[in-house]
Structures are given as C-alpha cells and as structure tokens.
Amino acid sequence: MLTIISDLLDTRQIHDVRALIDAAQWVDGNVTSGHQSALAKNNLQLPEDAPESRQAGQIILEALGRNPLFIAAALPLKIFPPLFNSYAGGQGFGVHVDSAVRIQAGSGFRVRSDLSITMFLEDPDSYAGGELTVETQFGAQQVKLPAGHAVLYPSSSLHRVNPVTSGRRVASFFWLQSMVRDDSARQTLFDLDSSIQALATAVGQDNAEIIRLTGVYHNLLRRWADA
C-alpha cells in the first residue's frame, strides 16, 4: 500500500523545519546505512543526535499525531524519530530495501520497520530528478510531491531515489512499527475503515449497519493487532 498524505505540514511548519535544518551541519548520509544500503547511497544527512534534527522531527511527529489519514493507514505503534537528508549534484540512492529493525543511536529504542515515510521539504519545481521510485504489485510508482506532503509505503519494498541533476532535494525520512504487522491485513483494515467513513457520511453514524461494520473493523483489529 502506497499512501499520499497531502498537506501534512502547513506553510509555517515547513518554514520552521527548514529554518532549523538549514542552519545545521550536514554529514555523509552513510552514517545510518546498513551494509547493503551503503553500497547504493550517496547523499548528505543530519546526524540523529543533532538538536536541530530533534526539534524539526518533533514538529513532524506532532503533525502526524493530528492526521487521521496517517493514523488510519499506518495504525502506528512506535515511530522512529524523523531524520533528514539532502541530494544535489547527481546524488541519488540506488535500489535497496530498508533494514528490518532500526535502532536509535545511543539508546535502546528500536522499531520493526513495517512502513517507511518520506516527507518532502522542497518545492518540486526547484530541482530536477530526485523522484522516489517504489516497486509495488502494480509496477514501479514514482513519487515527487510538494513541500509538506508525505508518502507512506512498505519498508519491505524495493525503492530508490533517482539522481538529482540540478537544484537540491531536501526531505525527512523515517520508519514506523505498525500495530498490524501484515501489509495485506493493514490494507484490508484501511479499506474497511474508509468505506465505513464514506457510508457514515451518507447515512449517518447512528445507522445500524454502520455500527455493525464498525464492530467488524474493531474485531478484525483486535484479532490482528499487537499493542
């Protein structure tokens, strides 16, 4: 499942995040790479423990917590603190799969990476290339979104960032552990929830069938969730 989350950050929040990270010291992006990723990765990144990264990440986490589409699609249990990267001058990230478990540097905090998130922080017209390409069951899908928009996709998928041939691509990226490990089960719950919300708008939340379907949703969630 690939889900676009539009306008996750508003103009003010984008400005605040960029003011923080643009003033920080960037390092080689391989500081967080596994062995396989290091062979394909060529970018810059903010260190995990940089105060600017933590402050900017908190803005994003608070926005996620208020976003109903994100909650419905991800069913998040634990979220890795957002990281930030930059691509320019032909830099890119070849085809790879994200590590199954991410451990926060200097702590015991870890997440199973069920879903990956890329939050775009640059006007897409200001740089060439830099598309996030995700291999899905329907073929490769390319994603290049306006600043403040995000995309959610399975961490198990093959994906890459195409080389940036002009300008600069700036984004946040991170992972989460869902309450529902299985992608297909999570998709089923999301589709059911979306249908319930659409039907409730048409016939009312107190409709007997809406109440029955809501019970089905929660009983499936109860069966599949690890919480």
Specify binding-site residues. 96, 98, 159, 169
Determine contact, residues 129/98, Cβ cutoff 8 Å. no
Q: Binding-site residues for 2-oxoglutarate, please?
A: 169
- Rounded Cα distance between 47 and 184, Å, is 34
Task: Give the residue ranges of the annotated binding site for Fe cation.
Answer: 96, 98, 159
Residue type, 124: P
SS3 letters for the chain? CCEEECCCCCHHHHHHHHHHHHCCCCEEHHHHCCHHHHHHECCEECCCCCHHHHHHHHHHHHHHHCCHHHHHHHCEEEECCCEEEEEECCCCEEEECCCCEEECCCCCCEEECCEEEEEECCCHHHCEECCEEEEECCEEEEECCCCCCEEEEECCCCEEECCEEECEEEEEEEEEEECCCCHHHHHHHHHHHHHHHHHHHHHCCCCHHHHHHHHHHHHHHHHHCCC
Q: Which two tokens stand for residue 125?
A: 């017209």
